[in-house]
Amino acid sequence: MIKSIDEVRIEGKKILVRVDFNVPLDEEQNVTDDTRIRESLPTIDKIIDYGSIPILMSHLGRPKGEPNPKYSLEPVAKLMLEKYGYDVLFAKDCIGKPALEAVNRAAVGQVVLLENLRFHKEEEKNDIEFAKQLASLGDAYVNDAFGSAHRAHASTEALAKLFDTRLAGYLMINEIEYLGKTITNPIKPFVAVLGGAKISGKIDVIKNLMDKCSSILIGGGMAYTFYKALGFGIGKSLLEEDRVEMAQELLGETSAKNVKLILPVDTVVADSFNNETNYKTVKSDSIPDGWMGMDIGPETQKLFCDEILKARTVVWNGPMGVFEMENFAKGTYAIAQALADATTKGATTIVGGGDSAAAINKMNFQNKVTHVSTGGGASLEYLEGKILPGVAALEV
């Protein structure tokens, strides 16, 4: 059983909180997207309301186990103060004297933010001695970092097990509720919309969902491997040659189980990979040599949107095309609009992290669906039905 911070009152304590502040920074070290920070603020506020002191831990980027100013969390401390008004004490290290001094100096109402956990190679090695040094800073543990829950690292697994009081924050609880319980026992019809570049990353998702879904809609670059499996010419479109046989097997399995696996019927193709190039819409079995698929076509958009609007539960993971380029974003936009419309009609709609979350945020639909996951790899592994180490470690 996993308990939330609502279920256990952690009053007057120093609380180690694993957050996912792995946010993008520009060349001037300014945070360019603070979604992950914003999503954890309710958990931080709750701990402050209890009269406790949140001690925030996170990684940022891939500093390869040693200090690197490029990956410092100091810009996050600055944003929390300037944008959200938190009185943040920033510790120049996550263990040792700098961390201990910041924690000892902190008063109720203040927040401590420790420096990047991955400045120490022991973090990614799930080192118990490193975890014990972190544990010495606090009285209880809260994990609100779903985006890191698929990693068995010191701050997500070893550290949690050192505390009798280990709880899930609000962000973590929401992810478990929507990605876990909703998909385990969905209200039907249940439709999955899967896109993105590669079929290899979605094979286990398709296999896990095929027993639960009414239909699975396939878009994005992964569709062309399915086309190849059907014997279609795909021009210069993205292809995973070593996954063609797997695509054939998946088509056979879904057919045998009477699950509708729906591929695009038309495709927007371009003669080169850029926004300003020549492009046109063709039937999916008629992609010309020298052209590449860039987006689902208008017929497919209607077909997919009609299917989504029949659903009571929808999960979407992966864009329908190269949504970063305006001319090839229409398919992804249409799916986002359909999810918003389905939500209005009472469906539960879940956007599963990564590029699809980036797309729905870019298109300003994030508040028009039921849930947008903050986890990229974590949400994908949850959709595959895997047990996440950071979630399992919270079990008591």
Catalytic-residue membership of 198:
yes
What's the chain's length in residues? 396
Would you state the pLDDT for residue 353?
Answer: 67
On whether the CB atoms of residues 316 and 378 are closer than 8 A, the answer is no
Among 385, 373, 391, smallest CA distance to 207 is for 385
Given 61, 65, 180, 377, the catalytic residue: 377
Catalytic: which of 297, 318, 353, 354? 354
Q: Taking 70 as the threshold, does the pLDDT of residue 316 lie above it?
A: yes
Catalytic: 345? no
Mean pLDDT, the chain, rounded, equals 94
pLDDT-derived band at 361 (thresholds 50, 70, 90) equals confident
- Is the pLDDT assigned to residue 354 strictly greater than 80? no
DSSP string, 134-161: HHTT-SEEEE--GGGTTS--IIIIITGG
Of 36, 118, 166, 243, which residue is the catalytic one?
A: 36
Tens of pLDDT, residues 160-211 = 999 999 999 999 999 988 888 788 889 999 999 999 888 888 888 888 888 8
Catalytic hit among 198, 212, 362, 386: 198
The model's confidence at residue 384, banded by pLDDT at 50, 70 and 90, is confident
Sorted by where each starts, the structural domains of the chain and their CATH numbers stand as 14-173 (3.40.50.1260), 186-383 (3.40.50.1260)
**In the block, residue with structure tokens 């957050």:** 19
Exposure on the CB side of residue 386, measured as CA atoms within 13 A: 15
Q: How far, in Å, CA of 74 to CA of 69, rounded?
A: 9
Is residue 236 flagged as an active site residue?
Answer: no
pTM: 0.87
Taking only the tens place, the pLDDT of each residue in 49-89 is: 999 999 999 999 999 999 999 999 999 999 999 999 999 99
What stretch of H or E contains 383? Answer: helix 377-383
pLDDT band at 363 (very low <50, low <70, confident <90, very high): confident
**Cα 48 from chain centroid (whole Å):** 27
377 labelled catalytic: yes
DSSP state of 25: B
Give the per-residue pLDDT at 197: 86
